[in-house]
């Protein structure tokens, strides 16, 4: 849900400040629960509100007393908050009992129109091993059905999934995946006729904390179609308390700040690492997390890996996985970077365009032939690539071929540009062995952290502004995020793309991005040659 679609429940006016409601228990010691959630959200510049489900008297090592709230008190807190508008995200932590769970789920189901994003962090026990949540199978099913994502650690995943399958232990990635898939399957349309797709559980994010079989610490995110993993080397954070709440509330905070789910997960992983990195000596004697602010340092970001499921419909009309693509990039030699000279990078759809632009002295160009031209057939595309390679041979112009990596190798192009989907199928090793350069598209933190593992020749960062050239599934990134991405790429050359014209190229160049790719600013210009030079000059590259 975006700010533009989120409306105040009473006045229908949009809510602007990123806001998260934290539903859960108080921890009198301040180390966990909604007390920790609020500190995390405050650190991230997000407004946090609370709906208290239970008051706990606990020290850093013991639970002394617990008092669950009556559902009517939870309802009153909900109504008080809702009268001022709905939040972007609701983070549900410890729910004390079935009564509370049923009443909360009923409230959520009553929400009309676009709903806040709902994260259920199924806290069952405190770190001192006191039970703070007693839920029946029915209450668990209801919570799973209202949540968008659920964020158990391995023990919580085992406890939740044991209701729906025979196995109760989880001691491998395979077990975790099966258990997560079981939870996803409890929430399906067949069991809830009439339910809107948007109300079904979308993903299970399994926190690495108790995954003892792992060498690195790998958080695992499972959806119906995709497995995503977020890996960091393990680090000893001593007796840090409340890291589960910290991670879940950071996910909620980043989501409220309008990051997509995979980016919120990547940022939250980096944020927790930043907190852990604060040495024990810097922490107070209660082992509570410190405020550390927005993560920016490349060293604290996880490596992200995607695995996609490809579905087929069986004879009886059921969807089943036909096979899986994965992108576990093996460590191999980095690709040679593009030439360091900063410049405008025209993206064009024929060899004729390349011939027209070469006299400008352009030093990087892309041949991007898409579906409308594909009707001309593979032979035509092959001819265009061959012509483009011949035109640029012996010049200093670095020619990248979009999509058609096999033809690029065959004709000896300088490089290949691949999108995220292409990375599942393309033979990266073959491209590397043929001596070609590699450029890769990204659209946010998760994709960026995925492709950094490839050490490509450049990383493209898109789309910065709205574009008329291509239908984009993601939102425009804007200049502030572009600047963060450039920092994360460290020494790898970067290319900004999407909606960049003469009026914007100076501000884009000021982010430090090494190249600016444009389609329409050149191909739709009255005088494309002049447009190329003007863009280069305005960006300060000439």
Ligand X SMILES: Cc1nc(C(=O)O)sc1CCOP(=O)(O)O
Q: Which does 366 bind (CB under 5 to 8 A by kind): ligand LCLJCK34, Mg ion, ligand X, none?
A: ligand LCLJCK34
The residue from 93, 302, 415, 462 that contacts ligand X (CB under 6 A) is 462
Nearer to ligand X, 249 or 467 (CB): 467
419 touches Mg ion (CB under 5 A): yes
Cβ atoms of residues 129 and 281 within 8 Å? no
Among 463, 481, 504, 515, binds ligand X (CB under 6 A): 463
Q: Taking CB under 6 A as the rule, does residue 476 contact ligand LCLJCK34?
A: no
Which of residues 1 and 418 has its CB atom nearest to ligand LCLJCK34 in the complex? 418
Per CB under 5 A, does 403 bind Mg ion? yes
Q: Using CA of residue 403, residue 405, residue 408, residue 410, what is the dihedral sign?
A: negative
Site for ligand LCLJCK34 in 332-391 (CB under 6 A): 345, 347, 366, 368
Rule CB under 6 A: say whether 470 interacts with ligand LCLJCK34.
yes
Our finding on whether 402 is near Mg ion (CB under 5 A) is: yes
Query: Mapping DSSP to helix (H, G, I), strand (E, B) and coil, where does residue 206 land?
Result: strand
Cα torsion at 273, 274, 278, 280 (round to 10°)? -20
Closest CB to Mg ion among 347 and 354? 347
Q: Side-chain half-sphere of 257: how many Cα atoms within 13 Å?
A: 21
Show Cβ contacts of residue 353 under 8 Å, excluding neighbours closer than 6 positions.
Answer: 346, 523
Residue 40, classed as helix, strand or coil, is helix
Q: What is the rounded distance in angstroms from the CA atom of residue 460 to the CA atom of residue 497?
A: 7
- Taking CB under 6 A as the rule, does residue 467 contact ligand X? yes
Binding residue for ligand LCLJCK34 (CB under 6 A) from 88, 202, 257, 417?
417
Are β-strands 203-206 and 149-150 bridged in parallel, bridged antiparallel, or unpaired?
A: parallel
Kindly state the smallest distance separating residue 368's Cβ from Mg ion, in Å.
7
Going 461 to 462 to 465 to 468, the CA torsion angle's sign is positive
CA distances for 206 relative to 115, 121, 223, 230, 324, angstroms: 24, 10, 11, 10, 20
By the rule CB under 6 A, 497 interacts with ligand LCLJCK34? yes
Per CB under 6 A, contacts with ligand X among 387-446 are 441, 443
Shortest distance, position 468 Cβ to ligand X, whole Å? 6
Residue 288 touches which of Mg ion, ligand LCLJCK34, ligand X, none (CB < 5 to 8 A by kind)?
A: none
Q: Could you tell me which residues come within 8 angstroms of residue 412 by beta carbon, excluding any fewer than 6 positions away? A: 389
Q: In what side-by-side order are the strands of the sheet with 303-313?
A: 63-68, 47-58, 19-27, 89-92, 117-120, 149-150, 203-206, 217-223, 226-232, 303-313, 319-326
Interface residues with ligand X (CB under 6 A) are 441, 443, 462-463, 467, 469-470, 497-500, 518-521
| Binding stretches for ligand LCLJCK34 (CB under 6 A) | 345, 347, 366, 368, 402-403, 417-419, 439, 441, 460, 462, 470, 495, 497, 517
Interface residues with Mg ion (CB under 5 A)?
A: 402-403, 419
């Amino acid at each position: 849900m975006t700010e533009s679609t989120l409306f105040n429940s009473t006045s229908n006016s949009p809510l602007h400040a990123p806001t998260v409601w934290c539903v859960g228990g108080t921890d009198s010691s301040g180390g966990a629960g909604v007390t920790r959630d609020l500190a995390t959200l405050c650190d991230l510049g997000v407004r946090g509100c609370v709906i208290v489900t239970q008051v706990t008297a606990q020290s850093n090592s013991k639970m002394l007393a617990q008092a669950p709230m009556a559902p009517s008190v939870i309802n009153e807190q909900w109504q008080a908050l809702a009268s001022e508008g709905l939040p972007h995200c609701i983070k549900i932590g410890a729910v004390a009992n079935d009564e509370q769970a049923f009443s909360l789920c009923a409230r959520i189901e009553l929400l009309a129109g676009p709903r806040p994003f709902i994260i259920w962090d199924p806290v069952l026990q405190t770190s001192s091993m006191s039970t703070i949540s007693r839920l029946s199978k029915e209450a668990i099913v209801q919570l799973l059905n209202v949540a968008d994502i659920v964020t158990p650690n391995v023990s919580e995943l085992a406890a939740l999934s044991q209701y729906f399958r025979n196995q109760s232990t989880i001691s491998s990635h395979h077990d975790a995946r099966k258990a997560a898939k079981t939870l996803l399957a409890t929430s399906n349309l067949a069991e809830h006729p009439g339910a809107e797709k948007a109300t079904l559980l979308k993903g299970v994010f399994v926190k690495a904390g108790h995954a003892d079989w792992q060498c690195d610490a790998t958080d695992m995110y499972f959806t119906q179609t995709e497995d995503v993993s977020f890996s960091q080397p393990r680090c000893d954070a001593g007796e840090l308390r409340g890291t589960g709440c910290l991670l879940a509330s950071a996910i909620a905070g980043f989501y409220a700040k309008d990051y997509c789910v995979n980016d919120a997960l990547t940022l939250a992983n980096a944020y927790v690492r930043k907190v852990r990195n604060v040495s024990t000596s810097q922490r107070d004697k209660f082992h509570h997390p410190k405020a550390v602010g927005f993560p920016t340092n490349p060293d604290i970001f996880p490596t992200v890996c995607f695995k996609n499921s490809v579905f087929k419909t069986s004879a009886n009309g059921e969807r089943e996985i036909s096979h899986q693509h994965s992108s576990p990039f093996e460590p191999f030699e980095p690709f040679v970077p593009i030439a360091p000279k900063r410049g405008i990078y025209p993206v064009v759809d024929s060899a004729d365009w390349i011939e027209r632009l070469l006299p400008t002295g352009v030093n990087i160009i892309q041949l991007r032939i898409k579906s409308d031209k594909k009707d001309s057939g593979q032979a035509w595309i092959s001819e265009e690539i061959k012509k483009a390679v011949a035109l640029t041979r012996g010049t200093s112009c670095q020619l990248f071929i979009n999509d058609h990596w096999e033809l690029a190798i065959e004709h000896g192009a300088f490089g290949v540009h691949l999108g995220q989907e292409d990375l599942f199928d393309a033979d990266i090793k073959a491209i590397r062995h043929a001596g070609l350069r590699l450029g890769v598209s990204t659209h946010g933190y998760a994709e960026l952290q995925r492709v950094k593992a490839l050490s490509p020749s450049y990383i493209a960062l898109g789309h910065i502004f709205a574009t008329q050239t291509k239908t984009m599934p993601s939102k425009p990134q804007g200049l502030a995020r572009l600047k963060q991405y450039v920092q994360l790429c460290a020494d790898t050359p970067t290319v900004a793309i999407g909606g960049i014209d003469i009026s914007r190229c100076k501000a884009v160049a000021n982010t430090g991005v090494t190249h600016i790719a444009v389609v329409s600013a050149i191909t739709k210009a009255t005088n494309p040659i002049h447009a190329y030079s003007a863009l280069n000059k305005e960006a300060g590259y000439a």
